[in-house]
């Protein structure tokens, strides 16, 4: 089985879809965060794949650079997101997003 | 000292005015303080006046003035000042001396009045205002004090304000004199327009020093100023207020009739005499002719009316009007010194007569009708003696009484008037009438027996009232020393001449004429009224004439039916115009405004407000709809984003 761009894209699309499904369906805030992380991972995979299989070989590892930045930002995002979850839990004694509807119009 | 007083002659009017303000500040209950301050103020004014009098004796034609700038507007500056000359000095001494006697008399006369201290405040103010008129060196400043005199007279005539007649008399006095003052003010404006200055004396630049510049307008200016003088001095046809002014307390009548109010008019004419005599031919100008004839008419008319009055004060009031007419005649025929001398002498004996009348009224518990008096000679000996002196002086008995000499001077001046001899003969008739009505009054009050029994309780007044009477009586006699033709000291002093003694002039043929006429008047009076009852002998003999005179020649009624009726008609017309024409116009304009208001109200409510309302309703609906989308469910938001992304993808795919 030869690794081609299509395979990576399919895997990436599957990963994104699973992440989206998780983010949309789970009720627990932390699982939503995990879903978002999965979508980010899918995007990272796309970056690497397009970089690896591009017909013109870039002299610098451009795709890797993008991914490294994304991972760093994702780490920061996860830290902020978890902190918010903890704060929300302390305040509302729940992390169930169905019940957190204070921003309702 | 001489220098100081000539520069500070304003102190004379200032002292009584300050006293008046102090008394008003003390309040109602400080009676002792009020009298103390008033009398001290008057004494101080008398002392300062005397100090000011002394330097005028030293040199002939003495005249000192002190001018200063009152205010400046643009290029022009208005200057006022004070003047000291024989005319002012003599008047000041007379006013303060007579004023002092009246103040002291008031102590007794007003002792029971509840507004005692207010009375003294007004009295001081009155005296101060009059002194201001005398020392003013500017026609404008004179006018200011002139109006203050008018105000003071209003306050004092209406002093017993709770009496409707007193309030009406005060108003009448104020308004009648105001009519004259209107002319006076126009004269001031005209004079200022012509001469550019209102200062009397200004080292050669004053309006009295350059009357030649006025030209023909001097006649009109003089006549306008004379309007003011006629109003204040009660000349025909503005004399009607003077007899009514008797509603005031008797000391006020004395002050008005002797020293202050009425003297102001005569003084004014004497002060601005150069304007009257400007361009005189043979000593006669048209303005002076008017002055003479007004004076003659006033003098004779008032003397006639006085014969038929029964109120003790009213008789004296008409005698004042008559004497003022005499003074005006004297001024008009060129006898300025004679007129002023008569004014000064009249000040003393008229104050004496009024205070004497006040003493009688006080003794009879406010009975004023002479027909109910009688036989007071024995009950009130001091009052009788002093009153007799005043009566003889007023009648013009020669040799012993000041009034006789001054009246002689006036007649002398009138007889030489080149224009006409009629005034002289009419004045002679006035002399007889004066002697007649004064004799009548004295006969009624002091002789015979009691008529209505009102004298049972009559008593002589306390010495606080009789001492001023005695002082004034002594003045009325003693002043004649300075008035005789043999040694015409006062006349020379006023004219700025040296007085010479010439005993031959003491007896002149004309004095015999006066003697005969006065004797005739007094004799006629004695004969007519020797057994007068409650009905006047004249009334029995010539009832029609008596009624005519008793009703003051119906002048008040004539005014009521002509001028006042005209004024009432004019005010009714104005009222109608105001009610229907002007008010109608205003209503039409208001109606147009109201229609416009309704229109704009409709536009505002129907269009603008409704538009704004609909917009807000729409915005609110949209807001409500939109807010429903915000469920707060974070996953729905996320799902919508995902769907949107999917739609974008599909759109993109469809494009390629």
> Tens digits of per-residue pLDDT, B401-426?
887 888 888 888 888 888 788 888 88
CB contact under 8 A, A97 and B635: yes
- Looking at residue B506, its pLDDT comes to 65
Task: Please tell me the distance from the alpha carbon of residue B539 to that of residue B532, in angstroms, as a whole number.
Answer: 11
CB atoms near residue B556 (< 10 Å):
15
Contact A60/B at CB under 8 A: no
Predicted confidence (pLDDT) per residue in B27-58, tens digit: 777 778 888 888 888 888 888 888 888 877 77
CB atoms near residue B314 (< 10 Å):
21
Percent over 70 (pLDDT), chain B: 96
- Looking at residue B512, its pLDDT comes to 79
Task: Please tell me the distance from the alpha carbon of residue B49 to that of residue B13, in angstroms, as a whole number.
Answer: 10
- Class of A5-99 in CATH: mainly alpha
Minimum mean pLDDT range among B8-22, B76-90, B481-495: B481-495
Is residue B299 within 8 Å of B547, Cβ to Cβ? no
Provide the token pair at B278.
């400007």
Give residue for tokens 């001097």.
B218
Contact B653/A at CB under 8 A: no
Using CB atoms within 10 Å of the CB of residue B221, give its burial: 0 to 12 exposed, 13 to 18 middle, 19+ buried: buried
Sign of the alpha-carbon torsion through B443, B445, B446, B451: positive
B313: which residues sit within 8 A by CB, 6+ positions away? B246, B250, B253, B354, B357, B361, B368
Q: A102: nearest CA in chain B?
A: B632
pLDDT band (50, 70, 90) for residue B392: confident
Q: What is the mean pLDDT of residues B618-628?
A: 89
Is residue A78 within 8 Å of A33, Cβ to Cβ? yes
CB contact under 8 A, A105 and B635: no
Nearest to B90 by CA among B502, B501, B483: B483
Whether residue B191 has pLDDT greater than 70: yes
Instruction: Compute CA distances B633 → B477, B611, B628, B630, whole Å.
Output: 125, 37, 12, 8
- Looking at residue B349, its pLDDT comes to 85
Is residue B88 within 8 Å of B62, Cβ to Cβ? no
CB contact under 8 A, A97 and B634: yes
Q: Which residues of A touch B625 (CB under 8 A)?
A: none
Percent over 90 (pLDDT), chain B: 5
Predicted confidence (pLDDT) per residue in B199-238, tens digit: 888 777 777 777 777 777 888 888 888 888 888 888 877 8
Task: Please tell me the distance from the alpha carbon of residue A29 to that of residue A87, in angstroms, as a whole number.
Answer: 12
Whether residue B650 has pLDDT greater than 90: yes
Cis peptide before B252 (omega within 30 of 0): no
Provide the token pair at B646.
């999917």
- Looking at residue B619, its pLDDT comes to 93
Q: B635: nearest CA in chain A?
A: A24
Q: B625: nearest CA in chain A?
A: A105
Provide the token pair at B545.
């004439």
Whether residue B454 has pLDDT greater than 60: no
| CA B67 from centre of chain | 26
pLDDT band (50, 70, 90) for residue B452: low
Task: Please tell me the distance from the alpha carbon of residue B386 to that of residue B445, in angstroms, as a whole number.
Answer: 13
Whether residue B240 has pLDDT greater than 90: no
Contact B627/A at CB under 8 A: yes
Q: Which residues of A touch B633 (CB under 8 A)?
A: 97-98, 101
Task: Please tell me the distance from the alpha carbon of residue B9 to that of residue B200, in angstroms, as a whole number.
Answer: 16
B64: which residues sit within 8 A by CB, 6+ positions away? B6, B7, B9, B55, B83, B84, B85
- Looking at residue A9, its pLDDT comes to 92
B541: which residues sit within 8 A by CB, 6+ positions away? none
- Looking at residue A46, its pLDDT comes to 92
Q: A28: nearest CA in chain B?
A: B635
CB atoms near residue B491 (< 10 Å):
23
First to last CA, chain A: 53
Contact A97/B at CB under 8 A: yes
Q: What is the mean pLDDT of residues B325-335?
A: 86
CB atoms near residue B9 (< 10 Å):
27
Whether residue A76 has pLDDT greater than 90: yes
Task: Please tell me the distance from the alpha carbon of residue B534 to that of residue B448, in angstroms, as a whole number.
Answer: 12
pLDDT band (50, 70, 90) for residue B138: confident
pLDDT band (50, 70, 90) for residue A105: low
Minimum mean pLDDT range among A84-93, B105-114, B311-320: B105-114
Domain range annotation of chain A: 5-99
pLDDT band (50, 70, 90) for residue B450: low
CB contact under 8 A, A32 and B635: yes
DSSP string, chain A: ----HHHHHHHHHHHHHHHHHHHHH--BHHHHHHHHHHHHHHHHHHHHHHHHT-SSPPSS-HHHHHHHHHHHHHHHHHHHHHHHHHHHHHHHS--BTTT--TT--
Predicted confidence (pLDDT) per residue in B475-503, tens digit: 888 887 777 776 777 777 777 777 677 66
Pairing type for strands B76-84 and B64-73 reads: antiparallel
- Looking at residue B654, its pLDDT comes to 92
- Looking at residue A95, its pLDDT comes to 86
Mean pLDDT of chain B: 82
- Alpha helices by DSSP H, listed for B8-77, are 11-26, 31-58
Task: Please tell me the distance from the alpha carbon of residue B8 to that of residue B15, in angstroms, as a whole number.
Answer: 12
- The secondary structure of B436-493, three-state, reads HHHHHHHHHHHCCCCCCCHHHHCCCCCHHHHHHHHHHHHHHHHHHHHCCCCCCHHHHH
Is residue B82 within 8 Å of B202, Cβ to Cβ? no
DSSP structure class, residue B76: E
Is residue B20 within 8 Å of B128, Cβ to Cβ? yes
Is residue B323 within 8 Å of B451, Cβ to Cβ? no
Is residue B325 within 8 Å of B299, Cβ to Cβ? yes
Whether residue B2 has pLDDT greater than 70: no
Nearest to B339 by CA among B389, B420, B390, B276: B276
Nearest to B62 by CA among B79, B87, B80, B81: B87
Is residue B206 within 8 Å of B156, Cβ to Cβ? no
Minimum mean pLDDT range among B188-192, B315-319, B522-526: B522-526
Contact B456/A at CB under 8 A: no
């Amino acid at each position: 089985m030869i690794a081609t761009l299509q395979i990576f894209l399919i895997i990436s699309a599957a990963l994104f879809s699973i992440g989206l499904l998780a983010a949309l369906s789970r009720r627990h805030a932390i699982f939503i965060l995990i879903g978002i992380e999965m979508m980010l991972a899918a995007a990272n995979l796309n970056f690497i794949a397009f970089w690896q299989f591009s017909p013109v070989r870039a002299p610098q590892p451009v795709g890797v650079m993008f991914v490294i930045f994304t991972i760093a930002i994702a780490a920061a995002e996860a830290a902020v997101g978890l902190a918010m979850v903890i704060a929300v839990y302390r305040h509302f004694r729940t992390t169930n997003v169905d019940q957190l509807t204070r921003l309702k119009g | 000292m001489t220098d100081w007083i000539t520069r500070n002659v304003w102190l004379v009017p200032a002292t009584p005015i300050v006293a008046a303000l102090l008394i008003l500040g003390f309040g109602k209950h400080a009676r002792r303080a009020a009298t103390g301050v008033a009398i001290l103020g008057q004494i101080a004014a008398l002392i300062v006046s005397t100090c000011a009098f002394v330097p005028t004796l030293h040199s002939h034609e003495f005249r000192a003035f002190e001018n200063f700038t009152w205010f400046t507007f643009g290029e022009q500056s208005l200057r006022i000042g004070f003047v000291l000359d024989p005319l002012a000095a003599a008047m000041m001494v007379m006013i303060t001396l007579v004023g002092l006697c009246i103040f002291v008399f008031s102590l007794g006369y007003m002792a029971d009045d509840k507004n005692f201290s207010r009375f003294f405040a007004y009295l001081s103010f009155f005296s101060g205002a009059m002194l201001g008129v005398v020392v003013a060196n500017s026609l404008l400043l004179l006018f200011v004090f002139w109006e203050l005199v008018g105000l003071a007279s209003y306050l004092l005539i209406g002093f017993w304000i709770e009496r409707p007649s007193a309030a009406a008399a005060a108003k009448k006095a104020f308004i009648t004199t105001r009519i004259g003052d209107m002319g006076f003010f126009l004269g001031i404006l005209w004079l200022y327009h012509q001469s550019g200055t209102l200062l009397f004396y200004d080292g050669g630049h004053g309006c009295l020093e350059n009357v030649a510049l006025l030209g023909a307008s001097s006649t009109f200016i003089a006549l306008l100023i004379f309007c003011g003088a006629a109003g204040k001095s009660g000349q025909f046809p503005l004399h009607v207020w003077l007899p009514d002014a008797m509603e005031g307390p008797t000391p006020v009548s004395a002050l008005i009739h002797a020293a202050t109010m009425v003297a102001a008019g005569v003084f004014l004419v004497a002060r601005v005499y150069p304007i009257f005599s400007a361009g005189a031919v043979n000593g006669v100008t048209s303005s002076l002719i008017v002055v003479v004839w007004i004076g003659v008419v006033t003098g004779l008319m008032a003397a006639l009316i006085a014969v038929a009055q029964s109120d003790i004060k009213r008789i004296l009031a008409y005698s004042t009007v008559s004497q003022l007419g005499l003074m005006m005649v004297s001024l008009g025929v060129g006898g300025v010194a004679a007129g002023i001398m008569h004014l000064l002498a009249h000040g003393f004996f008229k104050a004496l007569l009024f205070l004497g009348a006040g003493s009688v009224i006080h003794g009879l518990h406010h009975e004023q009708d002479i027909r109910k008096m009688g036989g007071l000679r024995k009950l009130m000996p001091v009052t009788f003696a002093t009153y007799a002196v005043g009566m003889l002086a007023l009648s013009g008995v020669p040799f012993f009484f000041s009034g006789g000499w001054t009246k002689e001077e006036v007649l002398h001046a009138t007889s030489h008037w080149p224009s006409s001899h009629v005034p002289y003969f009419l004045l002679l008739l006035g002399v007889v009438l004066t002697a007649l009505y004064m004799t009548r009054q004295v006969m009624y009050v002091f002789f015979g027996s009691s008529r209505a029994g009102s004298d049972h309780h009559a008593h002589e007044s306390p010495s606080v009232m009789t001492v001023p009477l005695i002082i004034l009586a002594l003045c009325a006699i003693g002043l004649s020393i300075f008035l005789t033709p043999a040694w015409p000291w006062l006349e020379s002093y006023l004219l700025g001449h040296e007085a010479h003694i010439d005993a031959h002039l003491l007896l002149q043929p004309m004095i015999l004429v006066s003697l005969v006429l006065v004797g005739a008047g007094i004799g006629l009076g004695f004969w007519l009224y020797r057994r007068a009852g409650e009905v006047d002998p004249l009334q029995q003999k010539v009832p029609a004439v008596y009624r005519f005179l008793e009703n003051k020649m119906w002048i008040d009624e004539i005014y009521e039916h002509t001028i006042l009726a005209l004024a009432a008609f004019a005010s009714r017309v104005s009222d109608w115009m105001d009610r229907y024409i002007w008010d109608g116009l205003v209503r039409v304009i208001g109606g147009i405004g109201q229609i416009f208001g309704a229109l704009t109200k409709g536009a505002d409510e129907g269009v603008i407000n409704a538009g704004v309302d609909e917009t807000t309703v729409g915005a609110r609906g949209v807001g409500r709809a939109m807010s429903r989308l915000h469920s707060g469910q974070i996953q729905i938001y996320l799902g919508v984003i995902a769907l949107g992304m999917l739609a974008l993808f599909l759109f993109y795919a469809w494009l390629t």
